[in-house]
Structure 1
């Protein structure tokens, strides 16, 4: 392994960006980029300082034939040192499991999003005399359907999670990879990138188009509640389809980022991952509760639908703020 690759691996294992390493080394970010791209070689003083920063021997840095890190014991980054080692067989097995699980996870998420549609539509139908549906019947059947769909989704989530249990450390723990693993994962990531972009484009398009039935229904049916509620059901269905593609692509991309310790899975972000997971869960459950609460209390489904575009736009901004606060605390 050449010096450039060693600098990349050691920097990522410590959860540092190129800017952070540049600051510690006293050089520009461009210099770090050139070192990692094998376009320039650090002088002896810089190699000595890199040895101190990473806590490894200079022999390890400058001798290409030395593949295993040799720590000097002088560094204080015990929290960031690898606790696990990922072999080529483990990485391949993990990616295969995720590839097979992605559709199941996406389907389970789709079930969760569509689960209240029956309850919403039957509740509106119970207020239309021509259907002859009582409120108790509508509420009972709607709740049964919702809980059945959510129950199926939870069962899928649990079964899928059990199969991934032995790779749980990839998301929260420090690890090192066997020689060749990083190259293999990067190659697969490049091959998947076009499909990942396509999934996201489809997901975004469906979410944007989801409001068209609602506003179209308002234009056509005016204040007639039942048709508008049906349009809300169609809106939720389109949103669920968009979410399906987000999860389908995101699950597979996240798996590769976990192995590369990139994106949301750098060592720095692993330290706050539990807080961010709890935040995301609370945010979307809270948003759903607000939507259903406003809709049932006011019985105004068409205006309550505006909640989704708002919470969707706000999510990214609020997440960045929460991540910043958590990082400061660390």
Structure 2
């Protein structure tokens, strides 16, 4: 069955006239008439739109050897295995668009939560410095309690954002952990969105990193001018918070494209490594961090375990992925 006949049958099955179908597609009735008469062929964007509108795969629409009755068979085949016997997770165009939209929405909220965590001690540090440098109308205890209250409130809001968005994204975990079987046209749509976001990604990452690097300047300037370092620290945290917001937001959105294209940190070999050692590795790191911290009581220094563990995990992951 050719594409023209499939479009006609699907339209009639929905009970739409050519005018009603044209409205839903955003084209003229003459275009619908030409498609159904085989006098012209809709472009790929319109075919993808029809796929979503009628709830059928693009394969069934485009391949003449497949009929509309084959849709059930085609859907079942999407859960087939690859050459290595791995079960592939089916990804339709609708699921891909939904995932990218949810990640883009969550990116802003998660990045804002991270920014709040970084900025949370600013008021505490500022009031402590101001109370010592100037004659204030409140006591040291009042300043400390005010700063701690702001810190707890900001961290509380951040944690709420992390939990809510984490639960909303939980249903998409298989996309990040399983090998994918993307439907026809999905890769093209994702690559197009990735190309459109590439300039913003490069800009945000560059600005964010530069802000983090330059954030130490306020402290240096305060020391040069013999001013209190606390105010420089406040400005440092503010600059870092904005820089990290840009980095986290851009990274999450960019990461959603890599997930669907199985690129970067989401290639199939890396997914295998994550399944094999991820949980065990980070469990050991957490145990080591807590043990060393409680034994030495050097909490201000033991945080270094986490960035070191992150670098080592990347090295181990690359080594195992090559095998």
The match for 1:325 is 316
Are 1:206 and 2:197 an aligned pair? no
Are 1:101 and 2:92 an aligned pair? no
Are 1:190 and 2:191 an aligned pair? no
1:267-302 deviation digits (Å, cap 9, x = unpaired): 2222344459949x97xx99xx9xx965xxxxxxxx
The match for 2:229 is 228
Ranges in structure 2 where 5+ consecutive residues have no aligned partner? 1-64, 67-73
Matched residue SS, 2:225: helix
CA change 1:199–1:70 in 2 (3 A) is closer
Whether the 8 Å contact between 2:116 and 2:155 is mirrored in structure 1 is: yes
- After superposition, residues 72-91 of structure 1 pair within 5 angstroms as 77-78=84-85, 81-91=86-96
The match for 1:127 is 132
Ranges in structure 1 where 5+ consecutive residues have no aligned partner? 1-64, 295-303
Matched residue SS, 1:130: coil
Whether the 8 Å contact between 2:126 and 2:231 is mirrored in structure 1 is: yes
Deviation, structure 1 residue 165: 2.3
The match for 1:142 is 147
1:129-153 deviation digits (Å, cap 9, x = unpaired): 6125433222222211111001111
Deviation, structure 1 residue 98: 1.6
Whether the 8 Å contact between 2:78 and 2:181 is mirrored in structure 1 is: no
Matched residue SS, 2:132: coil
The match for 2:117 is 112
Whether the 8 Å contact between 1:170 and 1:258 is mirrored in structure 2 is: yes
1:293-328 deviation digits (Å, cap 9, x = unpaired): 65xxxxxxxxx9xx99xx7xx94x763432223555
Q: TM-score, normalised by structure 1?
A: 0.62
Higher RCO (CA < 8 A, seq sep 6+):
1
CA change 1:327–1:107 in 2 (3 A) is same
Q: TM-score, normalised by structure 2?
A: 0.63
1:244-286 deviation digits (Å, cap 9, x = unpaired): 100111110001111111101112222344459949x97xx99
Question: 2: distance between equivalents of 1:85 and 1:71?
Answer: 9
1:80-122 deviation digits (Å, cap 9, x = unpaired): x134201000001111112222211211111111011112222
Are 1:165 and 2:170 an aligned pair? yes
- After superposition, residues 232-243 of structure 1 pair within 5 angstroms as 232-243=233-244
Whether the 8 Å contact between 1:84 and 1:175 is mirrored in structure 2 is: yes
Matched residue SS, 1:131: coil
Deviation, structure 1 residue 193: 0.7
Name which one, 1 or 2, has greater alpha-carbon Rg: 2
Deviation, structure 1 residue 188: 1.0
Deviation, structure 1 residue 172: 1.6
CA change 1:277–1:129 in 2 (3 A) is farther
Deviation, structure 1 residue 206: 1.0
The match for 1:266 is 267
Whether the 8 Å contact between 1:82 and 1:176 is mirrored in structure 2 is: no
Question: 1: distance between equivalents of 2:255 and 2:268?
Answer: 15
CA change 1:155–1:318 in 2 (3 A) is closer
Deviation, structure 1 residue 234: 0.3
Whether the 8 Å contact between 1:125 and 1:133 is mirrored in structure 2 is: no
